[in-house]
Chain A
Amino acid sequence: AQSVTQLDSQVPVFEEAPVELRCNYSSSVSVYLFWYVQYPNQGLQLLLKYLSGSTLVESINGFEAEFNKSQTSFHLRKPSVHISDTAEYFCAVSELQGAQKLVFGQGTRLTINP
Chain B
Amino acid sequence: EAGVAQSPRYKIIEKRQSVAFWCNPISGHATLYWYQQILGQGPKLLIQFQNNGVVDDSQLPKDRFSAERLKGVDSTLKIQPAKLEDSAVYLCASSLSQGSRETQYFGPGTRLLVL
Contact = CB atoms under 8 A, between A and B. Distances in A.
Contacts, number: 54
Contacts of B107: 43
Given A104-B43, A106-B41, A44 B103 contact: no
- Residue of B44, B93, B100 contacting most chain A CB atoms (<10 Å): B100
Contact of B100 (A36, A94, A105): A94
A102 B108 contact: no
B104 A102 contact: yes
A46 B106 CA distance: 9
Interface residues of A, number: 26
B106 A45 contact: yes
B113 interface: no
A42 B89 CA distance: 12
Contacts of B105: 45-46
Contacts of A60: none
A33 B105 CA distance: 16
Interface in A16-64: 32, 36, 41-46, 49, 51
B48 A101 contact: yes
Interface of A: 4, 9, 32, 36, 41-46, 49, 51, 90, 92, 94-96, 99-107
B103 A46 contact: yes
B99 interface: yes
B42 A4 contact: yes
Given A100-B99, A107-B41, 7 more contacts: A44-B93, A46-B105, A101-B100, A105-B42, A106-B41, A106-B42, A107-B42
A79 to B, nearest CB: 25
A44 B100 contact: no
7 contacts: A32-B101, A41-B108, A44-B43, A44-B93, A46-B105, A49-B103, A102-B104
B88 interface: no
